[in-house]
Chain A
Amino acid sequence: MISFIVDFFSYSFTVNALIASLLISIAAGMVGAYIVARRLVFLSGGITHASFGGVGIAFYLGVNPILGAAVFAVLSAFGVELLTGRLKVREDSSIGILWSLGMAVGIFFVFLTPGYAPNLMSFMFGSILTISESDIWMIFGLTVVMAIFFIIFYRAILYLSFDPSFARTQGVPVELFSYILMGFMALTIVLSIRLVGIILLLSLLTIPPSIVNTFTKRFSSIILWSMLVAFTGCLGGLVVSYTLNVPSGATIILILIIMFIFAKVYRYISVFLKQSKA
């Protein structure tokens, strides 16, 4: 056991992976609680997958794929806004269109670029080993900025999510804040791609708040506990994937799902016991 722990930490990439997991869990707790409460999960899925378009173009041009993903994530977020607001396309249809447009662009350019197929897998399914120090600094910066924003404007965020038109009468700049939060959402998604990959990312954001929501209906508790749940999932996933030599992203998600099932079963049983006592 001791030798396993020593082994596990003796590689700088696992230390990087742990730091990255911790930071991403903190960011995912905030973004996840927000998107689940405001029912923006499908939109987040659209943004995540559309960002693949940016990855493809970046491969083709030979620039940093995360940069490409970030540009596409932000563009697709605003694209949905544009299609829905100005062109009166229904929102779920807009998301569906941009979701597949991004994927199509990505596939198109990846196939124009010879020799990148293996690397592609790490974007689709995550590859914790590819997390570099500069990635960690970016995640750190985002997490700190977002945490400050959430602490200062917690009440405004809560109220605008609950009832935007009333929040507006209270002087909350609902549109501006929604855009800022959408930007945070897009960046968190992009910076989490290395950890769990495009295809699995949505669960990292949605499972922790869903687990916590089983036990509390307080927005602030959901944010804080989601961070812990997400980090537990990441930590467990990293250890298991390291030991069994399986992909980290899928392992993290599976562990989160198991926690989710346990939470629901626990809840079900405790409610059942309470009822049978009464």
Chain B
Amino acid sequence: MAKILDVVSASAGYNGELILRDVNFEVSDNDFIGVIGPNGGGKTTFLKLILGEIKPSTGAVNYFPNGNRQTLFGYLPQVTTIDKSFPISVLDVVLSGLQGQKGLSGWHKSADITTAKKIMERAGIAHFANNPIGQLSGGQLQRTFLCRALISNPRLLILDEPNTFVDNKFEKELYALLQELNREMAIIMVSHDLGTITTHVKTIACINRHLHYHPSNRITSEQLASYDCPIQIIAHGPVPHTILHEHHD
């Protein structure tokens, strides 16, 4: 499996204050990595580092095969501070996910609109296509941003808490969709819902100022403690109260 990117002993932060220290990490095609960690631990910062939105103060982030990252990612931000009265249609928001491929001066072809409509169909927002985004509910808006991340059929899909705002039904559909997409693309997903993480992802990264990579989707609270990753375990169904999955050797 080809490597998409690697992070080599990188530190990063804001205004001179380091949030992440000495991070080593790599992503290859078809990986499905769940990112967990406490609030303020640096998960979103880590994603921004990968995306190239913030530069490492030491170390490096390398993109393969040729160092070009523009057409690599589909990205769903954690919170999008948008202005809901901005004059833009739902369709145009989704199409904006193609701009990296189209280039700076790119315009859309009718094939792009067909692609957009197909994805929106799947996310259940197709009939809103021409509505201004101000008319959407929080969950519908989240679906729109998900479509925006997916439309470019990216090599690496980066999702920062994709389940915020959406209802249970769509959340289930979302995870089914991600399983399907994972055959074609690598996925990195931040979630606070450990139950979800362990059932859907392949490997886990714990981030609390440092990054600990756990090459399996089964993790015990002892391991979490040893990773210095004090997160609350929210278990679903018949999972033991404090231990998510017994660690089988």
Contact = CB atoms under 8 A, between A and B. Distances in A.
B2 to A, nearest CB: 22
Contacts of A217: 87-89, 132, 134
B53 A170 contact: no
B105 A159 contact: no
Interface in B92-123: 92-93, 96-97, 99-100, 102-108
Interface stretch (A16-24, A161-169, A256-264, A265-273): A161-169
A158 interface: yes
A37 B80 CA distance: 17
B209 interface: no
B99 A171 contact: yes
Contacts of A159: 96, 99
B89 A172 contact: no
A27 interface: no
A155 B108 contact: yes
A170 B70 contact: yes
B180 interface: no
B82 interface: yes
A170 B51 CA distance: 10
B134 A155 contact: no
B73 interface: yes
Interface centre among A152, A166, A167 (most CB of B within 10 A): A166
Contacts of B134: 217
Contacts of B148: 166
Contacts of A166: 75, 77, 80, 96, 148
B104 to A, nearest CB: 5
B87 A39 contact: no
Given A158-B92, A217-B89, A171 B106 contact: no
A218 B87 contact: yes
Nearest to A212: B87
Interface residues of B, number: 30
A169 B73 contact: yes
Given A169-B51, A172-B104, A162 B70 contact: no
B88 A158 contact: yes
Contacts of B88: 158, 162, 217, 219
A197 to B, nearest CB: 28
Contacts of B99: 155-156, 159, 167, 170-172
B86 A37 contact: yes
B83 interface: yes
Interface in B67-85: 70, 73, 75, 77, 80, 82-83
A278 B119 CA distance: 33
Nearest to B104: A156
Contacts of A165: 53, 77
A153 interface: yes
A222 B52 CA distance: 34
Interface in A80-122: none
A145 B107 CA distance: 19
A76 interface: no
Contacts of A167: 96, 99
A213 interface: yes
11 contacts: A37-B86, A155-B96, A155-B99, A155-B105, A162-B82, A163-B93, A165-B77, A170-B96, A170-B99, A213-B87, A217-B132
Interface of B: 51-53, 70, 73, 75, 77, 80, 82-83, 86-89, 92-93, 96-97, 99-100, 102-108, 132, 134, 148
Given A217-B132, A219-B87, 20 more contacts: A37-B87, A152-B105, A153-B104, A153-B105, A155-B99, A156-B99, A156-B104, A158-B96, A159-B96, A161-B86, A163-B82, A166-B80, A169-B100, A170-B96, A170-B99, A171-B70, A171-B103, A213-B87, A217-B88, A217-B89
